Amino acid sequence: MITRIVLTVLLLSSVSGAFGQQVGQNAPGFTVDLLGGGTTSLSGYTGKVVYLFFFGWNCSHCVSPNGPLSQTQVAATHAGKPFQALGLDVWNGSSTGVQTFKSQTGIQYPLGLMASTIQTLYQVPQQDYSVVIDQTGIIRYRGAFVNPLEINAVVNQLLMTADVNAEAATPITFALQQNYPNPFNPTTTITYSLPHTARVTLTVHDILGQELAKVVDETVEPGVHTVSFDGARLASCVYFYRLQSDAFVQTKVMTLVR
């Protein structure tokens, strides 16, 4: 059975924004000594979403409010999930100093010592900085301080995507997933699923219906499929994207920011 599917993206309005320099790149590997003994390596967290908090052990805004926020609003939020938070002392303080920091902030996740070399490796411009790495080792977020809304939005999206990918190879229904990353600049991926072979057309339109680009126009086998959309020629905007077949229509929103 051949079903025609039309996936359209509609332009709505303009917004503005920016992304971290290394988002989308491979996260450099590292090994670090831990407060309390032992070591840990980034490679040991493969398959998990990793949150890195670069702090200075005596940095006032790391002690309050951002250290506590990293524990109560980020790490604790994702407890019991395939998620790992790790603090890295970029001021190279003593074990005593970092222990004091841990006590002052209430942080329960592991803290790495003497981590200034990792700061350099990641090109982190300051202490009090957050990085999120996905399950395959790709940097998905960089930002100064601890912004729980931004960080948790990225982490939740990564965890949800992992759940989607864990489903059966051949889905039983048509489905359209939220694009990732979202917001994006300038590329993003759109994932959809097909229960049987179908004709798939992915086009981009403005709000007046004018076609701006044709991304996909071919017959696709059943399963879960991911396509890339490049908005390099478009202005910062909010878009609707729509998946449609005979009796199936689903619309979601994505945002291009620069």
What digits encode the pLDDT tens for the residues 176-208?
787 788 888 998 787 777 788 888 777 777 777
Options 3.40.30.10, 3.30.1540.10, 3.40.50.1820, 3.30.413.10; CATH of 31-146: 3.40.30.10
Q: Which two tokens stand for residue 226?
A: 């991911």
For residue 118, give every residue at least 6 positions away whose Cβ sits within 8 Å of its Cβ, in sequence order, or none: 28, 30, 32, 54, 88, 90, 112
pLDDT at 230: 87
- Short-list 230, 225, 250, CA closest to 240: 250
CATH class of 3-17+167-256: mainly beta
Domains 3-17+167-256 and 31-146 share a fold: no
**Quick count: other Cβ atoms within 10 Å of Cβ 143?**
16
According to the model, what pLDDT value does residue 164 have? 52
Domain boundaries, the chain: 3-17+167-256, 31-146
Pairing mode of beta strands 83-89, 49-55: parallel
The two counts, helices (H) then strands (E), for the chain are: 5, 15
- Whether omega for the bond prior to residue 28 falls within 30 degrees of 0, making it cis, is no
The single-letter code of the amino acid at 161 is: T
Give the model confidence (pLDDT) of 233-250 as tens digits: 888 888 887 777 777 777
Q: Give pLDDT, residue 8.
A: 42
Confidence label for 9 from pLDDT (cuts 50, 70 and 90): very low
For residue range 65-106, list pLDDT tens digits in order: 999 999 999 999 999 999 999 999 999 999 999 999 999 999
* Tokens 């700061």 sit on residue: 119
Say how far apart CA 203 and CA 221 lie, in whole Å: 19
